[in-house]
């Protein structure tokens, strides 16, 4: 009888197992006592994990796992300690990562000030190819967008040009003034020698000398003569300039007046009448020019150019009445071959007839700049102890 074909023990075992109610048996088993009697380590040692895992349905296991409870039991610090960042980064696709980054949100979280504080500008400039950068700049387009007029005005260029031009013009004018002053000083020394006058003469009105602050000259070798009595050469040059202005203004004014008279009353046939009208207009124009200029500014245009000013005997500004008397008496100074001007050469205060009548005198006054003598003349006078007395 073949044993493989019939095994009575196996047949009896299978029959017995089939008749056993497993659930009833398990209900009678004390699981805790059973577990206590089991050697877990020995049991696990007999388990083949590979075979066990092969039989586990991972998807079914994960479906039954609650991720929140699982994550609550995870220690992230210990987990991160076991992570190899190099291997992790090697598996990261940067392109896909950047595609998911919102640059606007990223820039909103950047502190620009802190970022710039960490930038070394010197190193940045050292690494920059300035020539290449400038080659990329369209200078024509950039300059086309610049408001040159506003840029010039904000830079103060007009004021600089005006100041430079004024300073240059003032310097040239002062050079001419110094030469005229030199001629005055030389002429006054000659007349002083002829008339045997002492060298130590009053320089100018006492009150004016006391009120004029000593200004340092532009060149320390030049003698300052601000407030000193003006010499005849300076006064003659000022008179010639005023005469040119009066004649020029009269020419323009008379042409207009005669044109108007001829248009209203016809041609003036009488040469005598034309002469009378012309002389009257000239006298009126010259009178108004001199009186108004002296009363308002203490100087005419010619005196302003040469650097002279008319003051009273004490050095104060003249009154209108003094200006009026001075202008009215001035024609008498020209009588008898200009005898009224002899006081400019022999008088201690260099006053002409009209100065004496109006109780005025003429002094050097260059405005904000000090009136000066040329340096060579100043040195020459100092060597002879013949400088003007302050």
Residues 6 or more apart from 158 whose CB is under 8 A from it?
152
* Separation of alpha carbons 202 and 390, rounded Å: 7
Strand partners, 372: 224
Residue with structure tokens 């929140």? 68
CB 350 within 8 A of CB 230: yes
* Separation of alpha carbons 257 and 168, rounded Å: 39
Query: What tokens appear for 66 in the block?
Result: 């609650």
Instruction: Give me the tens of pLDDT residue by residue for the chain, a chain 390 residues long.
Output: 444 556 677 677 777 777 777 777 777 777 777 777 877 788 777 888 788 778 877 787 778 878 788 788 888 888 888 888 888 888 888 888 888 888 888 888 888 888 888 888 888 888 888 788 888 888 788 778 887 777 777 776 666 666 655 566 668 898 999 999 999 989 988 887 887 765 566 788 877 776 655 545 445 556 788 899 999 999 999 999 999 999 999 999 888 877 777 777 666 557 777 788 888 989 999 999 999 999 999 999 999 999 999 999 999 999 999 999 999 999 999 988 889 999 999 888 899 999 999 999 999 999 888 888 888 888 887 776 655 544
Maximum CA pair distance of the chain?
A: 189
Radius of gyration (Cα) for the chain, nearest Å? 58
Q: At 269, phi and psi to the nearest 5?
A: -70, -30
Which residue blocks in 127-231 are alpha helix, DSSP H? 130-135, 139-144, 148-154, 157-194, 206-211
Residues 6 or more apart from 241 whose CB is under 8 A from it?
301, 302, 305, 306
CB 158 within 8 A of CB 152: yes
Helices 271-297, 232-265: crossing angle, 10 deg rounding: 130
What is the structure's pLDDT at 390?
43
Query: What tokens appear for 228 in the block?
Result: 């000193």
* Alpha-carbon distance values, 107 to 98, 104, 119, 348 (Å): 14, 5, 17, 89
Total length of the chain: 390
CB 310 within 8 A of CB 362: yes
* Separation of alpha carbons 161 and 152, rounded Å: 11
Residue ranges of domains in the chain: 1-105, 163-383
């Amino acid at each position: 009888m073949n044993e493989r074909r019939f095994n009575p023990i196996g047949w009896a075992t299978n029959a017995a197992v089939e008749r056993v109610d497993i659930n009833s048996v398990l209900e009678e088993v004390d699981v805790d006592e059973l577990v206590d009697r089991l050697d877990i380590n020995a049991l696990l040692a007999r388990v083949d994990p590979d075979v066990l895992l092969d039989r586990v349905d991972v998807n079914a296991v994960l479906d039954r796992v609650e991720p929140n409870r699982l994550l609550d039991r995870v220690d992230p610090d210990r987990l991160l300690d076991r992570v190899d960042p190099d291997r992790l980064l090697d598996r990261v696709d940067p392109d896909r990562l950047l595609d998911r980054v919102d640059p606007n949100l990223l820039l909103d979280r950047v502190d620009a000030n802190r970022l710039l504080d960490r930038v070394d500008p010197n190193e940045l400039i050292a690494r920059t190819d300035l020539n290449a950068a400038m080659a990329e700049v369209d200078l024509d387009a950039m300059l086309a967008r610049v408001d040159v007029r506003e840029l010039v005005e904000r830079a103060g260029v007009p004021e600089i040009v005006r100041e430079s031009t004024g300073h240059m013009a003032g310097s040239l004018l002062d050079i001419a003034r110094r030469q005229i002053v030199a001629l005055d000083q030389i002429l006054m020394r000659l007349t002083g020698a002829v008339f045997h006058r002492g060298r130590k003469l009053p320089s100018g009105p006492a009150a004016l000398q006391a009120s004029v602050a000593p200004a340092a000259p532009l060149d320390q070798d030049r003698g300052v003569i601000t407030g000193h009595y003006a010499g005849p050469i300076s006064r003659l040059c000022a008179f010639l300039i005023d005469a040119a202005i009066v004649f020029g203004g009269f020419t323009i004014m008379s042409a207009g007046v005669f044109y108007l008279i001829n248009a209203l009353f016809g041609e003036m046939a009488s040469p005598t009448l034309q002469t009378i009208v012309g002389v009257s207009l000239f006298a009126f124009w010259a009178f108004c020019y001199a009186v108004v200029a002296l009363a308002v500014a203490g100087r005419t245009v010619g005196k302003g150019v040469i650097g002279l000013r008319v003051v009273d005997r004490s050095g104060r500004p003249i009154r209108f009445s003094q200006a009026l008397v001075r202008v009215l008496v001035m024609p008498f100074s020209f009588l008898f071959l200009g005898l009224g001007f002899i006081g400019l050469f022999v008088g201690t205060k260099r006053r002409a007839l009209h100065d004496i009548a109006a109780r005025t005198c003429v002094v050097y006054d260059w405005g904000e700049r000090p009136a000066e003598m040329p340096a060579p003349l100043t040195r020459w006078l100092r060597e002879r102890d013949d400088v003007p007395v302050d």
